[in-house]
Chain A
Amino acid sequence: MATLYAQIIVNTLVLSLTYILVALGLTLVLSVMDILNFAHGAIYMLGSYFFYTFLTNAGLPYFLSAILAIVLTGFLGILLEKYVLRRVGTAHLEALVITFGLAMALESLITIIFGGWPLPVKGLLTGTLKVFGVILSLERLMIILVSIALVGLLFFYVGKTKQGRAMRAVAQNRIGAQLQGIDPNRVSALCFFISCALAASAGVLTGPVFGIAPSMGLSPLLNGFTAMILGGLGSIVGCVVGGFILGALISFGSTLLNPILANIIAFALILVVLIFRPRGVMGSVQR
């Protein structure tokens, strides 16, 4: 029994941190550029396929292929921002439809190249760790540690550095930030790079655990939105809190009840949260 609960808790952390990494990217883009990025799931998928290609087809070592995949996805994000989303501006309905079209195109591109079936990815660590008679997978523990480090890094970056401050300024008031000599386009590009890199790192980390498939992006996308709403739109701390609530709900619900029912409960929960507390658990004042 102890093993079961410990494993559920580890699963909760892995799921939550995946959602958090995805939701953080969504939040950054939403607060800085006012765009709901529906291509984020496809970018997560793309990151893990880049990783797979470098690792399996090119035969590069694990760390090199992970970093290459993350950076490459980030640069793709910059291209996407510069040539597509900047032209649409802040018309967020058009941006929404364009990003969805893009997600569709990317998904089918990957299906053409790699086939529609799921592929296994070789992980870094195999084997298990036995703590107090509880068997835990090493791979999952590593995912938890690395994700926490990444989230901490993002907190430091947004909270303490100059670029982070510029980002927050643009999120608060685009024109005001411009008057202070901040180039909003540069900040948008930077923020898209970070957002895509975070999604790709989630893809790289979870690929070995869940396997990769062209349609793998949809569920983290929807759950990322959910985590974002639960925590409050535009709040980074809220994202983390929302991600943990959602991860716990889905992981405990799936094991103890039924996976579909757990998802229904999660979505019903957002309805309730949005109705009674539209700014979410940690959200700031609604704009």
Chain B
Amino acid sequence: MSKGRLRQIGFLVLVAALVPAVIRDAGILHIINMMYLMAIPAMSLNLIMSTGHVSFAHAAFIAIGAYFSTLLSMKAGLPFWFCLPLAGAVGALIAWGIGWIILRIKGPYFFLVTVAFSEVVIRSATHFKEITGGHQGIEQIPKPSITIPHLFAFKFESETSFYYLMLAAMLVSLLAMYKLQRGHWGLSWRAAREADMVAESVGVDVIRYKVAAFSTGCFFAAMAGSLFAHYVSFINPGTFGLLMQFGMLMSVIVGGREYFYGPIIGTLFLRGLSASVARMAVYEPIVYGTILALIILFFPVGIAGLPSRFAAQWTSILYRIRRKAHEPA
């Protein structure tokens, strides 16, 4: 990362850290917290998509993380800080197990396998009532807290405290994924997407890299699920249905899947859009769906690609003006 880019990002983080000082409204802070939270799985979905496989089971992995973490903290009494990485590990393990089999399938077939997998997960969460609470779900999930005996105790309760937790979680995941995608692994993933036969012929063990990408992506998804469960304090199978899955897919596409920051921009944009049209009550899905379709039809590269597109147009305009100025009268 160049020094200028580092300075820009530092500035952005500083601004983000000061947001709660300006915005006092708990409702708006909640929306922003959910933006940060959902940006994590959106980015990790893009990471999986960089290998050329579009997973539709991402919300199912969020559900796995959420349920596992909830059960650990409520049945086994473990604190949140243990549940979070354990949930991530379980998600990654399941993804690793099924990845070896399903990642050999390509195109629409892969997509439909993941649809089936996510239906199995969500419907199982509905069916096995003794463990998961069925349709009603699980309530009063303990919120995270930091306790050092006799010295210090802090419980995450207010939206402001959660704001910093979500911001930190998003930044850490962002950094980890940035390192991965810019490194040797990311290169192999993109090679696997562009031409997996060619990649295989030069000695890339394609399926291994794909499984690694899939488990990494699902690791972050399951962690986000754990964060979600302990933040909202309530989970049920309906939360992790088609709507959440499509929300993430839309974030990636609307934001721009060729850009690393695309999914974040997409999540911020779509969540902001849905929050601002929420006042229209019943008309919300129509307005939301229409705006979405228009964006995809007219800006297929995504929002993250707009600056460079405008820059290119601006350059050509400048060029034309200059050429006119130099032409002899």
Binding site for B on A (CB under 8 A): 30, 36, 84, 87-88, 91-94, 96-98, 100-102, 104-105, 107-109, 111-112, 218, 222, 225-226, 228-229, 233, 258, 260-261, 263-264, 267-268, 270-271, 274-275, 278, 286-287
**Closest Cβ of chain A: how far from B292's Cβ, in Å?**
5
Q: A258 vs B127: C-alpha distance in the bound complex, in angstroms? A: 9
A-B contact pairs, 9 of them (CB 8 A): A84-B293, A97-B246, A101-B250, A105-B290, A229-B112, A268-B116, A270-B112, A271-B120, A275-B102
**Closest Cβ of chain A: how far from B144's Cβ, in Å?**
33
Which of B54, B111, B117, B288 is close to A271, meaning CB atoms less than 8 Å apart?
B117
Which of B54, B113, B123, B242 is close to A93, meaning CB atoms less than 8 Å apart?
B54
Which of B113, B283, B293 is close to A108, meaning CB atoms less than 8 Å apart?
B283
Contact A267-B296, Cβ < 8 Å, known A109-B286, A278-B105: no
Q: By CB atoms of chain B within 10 A, which of A36, A91, A100, A258 has the most?
A: A100
Are A260 and B127 in contact (CB-based, < 8 A)?
yes
Which B residues are in CB contact (< 8 Å) with A102? Answer: 289, 293
Q: A264 vs B116: C-alpha distance in the bound complex, in angstroms? A: 9
Are A274 and B116 in contact (CB-based, < 8 A)?
yes
Which B residues are in CB contact (< 8 Å) with A267? Answer: 116-117, 119-120, 123
Q: A270 vs B253: C-alpha distance in the bound complex, in angstroms? A: 28
Which of A87, A92, A97, A274 is close to B292, meaning CB atoms less than 8 Å apart?
A97
Which A residues are in CB contact (< 8 Å) with B126? Answer: 260
**Closest Cβ of chain A: how far from B290's Cβ, in Å?**
6
Chain B residue nearest in CB terms to A225:
B112
Which A residues are in CB contact (< 8 Å) with B120? Answer: 264, 267-268, 271
**Closest Cβ of chain B: how far from A25's Cβ, in Å?**
16
Contact A112-B288, Cβ < 8 Å, known A36-B111, A94-B300, A97-B250: no
Chain B residue nearest in CB terms to A36:
B108
Q: A91 vs B296: C-alpha distance in the bound complex, in angstroms? A: 11
Q: 1/0 per position for B181-198, CB-CB distance to A under 8 A?
A: 000000000000000000
Q: A133 vs B127: C-alpha distance in the bound complex, in angstroms? A: 37
Interface residues in B261-308 by Cβ distance below 8 A to A read 282-286, 288-290, 292-293, 296-297, 300
Chain A residue nearest in CB terms to B250:
A97
Contact A84-B297, Cβ < 8 Å, known A108-B283, A222-B115, A270-B116: yes
| CB of B124 closer than 8 Å to a CB of A | yes
Which B residues are in CB contact (< 8 Å) with A108? Answer: 282-286, 289
Binding site for A on B (CB under 8 A): 54, 101-102, 105, 107-109, 111-113, 115-117, 119-120, 123-124, 126-127, 242, 246, 249-250, 253, 282-286, 288-290, 292-293, 296-297, 300
Q: A218 vs B119: C-alpha distance in the bound complex, in angstroms? A: 12
Which B residues are in CB contact (< 8 Å) with A87? Answer: 297
Q: A229 vs B107: C-alpha distance in the bound complex, in angstroms? A: 13
Are B296 and A97 in contact (CB-based, < 8 A)?
yes
Are B115 and A225 in contact (CB-based, < 8 A)?
yes
Q: A180 vs B204: C-alpha distance in the bound complex, in angstroms? A: 41
Are A112 and B293 in contact (CB-based, < 8 A)?
no
Q: By CB atoms of chain B within 10 A, which of A100, A101, A104, A286 has the most?
A: A101
Q: A229 vs B115: C-alpha distance in the bound complex, in angstroms? A: 11
Which B residues are in CB contact (< 8 Å) with A84? Answer: 293, 297
Which A residues are in CB contact (< 8 Å) with B127? Answer: 258, 260-261, 264
Are A92 and B297 in contact (CB-based, < 8 A)?
no
Which B residues are in CB contact (< 8 Å) with A218? Answer: 242
Q: A93 vs B48: C-alpha distance in the bound complex, in angstroms? A: 14
Chain B residue nearest in CB terms to A105:
B289
Are A274 and B109 in contact (CB-based, < 8 A)?
yes
**Closest Cβ of chain B: how far from A109's Cβ, in Å?**
6
* A-B CB proximity, top 10 nearest: A105-B289, A108-B285, A101-B289, A270-B116, A267-B119, A267-B116, A101-B292, A260-B127, A104-B285, A267-B120
Given contacts A92-B108, A229-B112, A275-B101, 16 further A-B contacts (CB under 8 A): A36-B111, A91-B300, A97-B292, A98-B296, A98-B297, A101-B289, A101-B293, A105-B286, A108-B284, A112-B282, A226-B116, A233-B109, A267-B119, A274-B105, A274-B112, A286-B109
**Closest Cβ of chain B: how far from A241's Cβ, in Å?**
17
Chain B residue nearest in CB terms to A269:
B116
Which A residues are in CB contact (< 8 Å) with B288? Answer: 101, 104-105
Q: A106 vs B108: C-alpha distance in the bound complex, in angstroms? A: 24
Q: A275 vs B111: C-alpha distance in the bound complex, in angstroms? A: 13
Contact A94-B296, Cβ < 8 Å, known A222-B119, A267-B116: yes
Chain A residue nearest in CB terms to B253:
A97
Contact A93-B116, Cβ < 8 Å, known A36-B108, A111-B282: no
Which A residues are in CB contact (< 8 Å) with B286? Answer: 105, 108-109, 112
**Closest Cβ of chain B: how far from A171's Cβ, in Å?**
14
Which A residues are in CB contact (< 8 Å) with B300? Answer: 88, 91, 94
Contact A93-B109, Cβ < 8 Å, known A88-B297, A105-B289, A111-B282: no
Which A residues are in CB contact (< 8 Å) with B285? Answer: 104-105, 107-108
**Closest Cβ of chain B: how far from A238's Cβ, in Å?**
13
Contact A263-B119, Cβ < 8 Å, known A104-B285, A233-B109, A286-B109: yes
**Closest Cβ of chain B: how far from A163's Cβ, in Å?**
25
Q: A30 vs B111: C-alpha distance in the bound complex, in angstroms? A: 13
Are A112 and B283 in contact (CB-based, < 8 A)?
yes
Q: A75 vs B60: C-alpha distance in the bound complex, in angstroms? A: 36
Which B residues are in CB contact (< 8 Å) with A96? Answer: 249
Are A98 and B123 in contact (CB-based, < 8 A)?
no
Q: A111 vs B283: C-alpha distance in the bound complex, in angstroms? A: 10
Chain B residue nearest in CB terms to A260:
B127
Which B residues are in CB contact (< 8 Å) with A109? Answer: 286
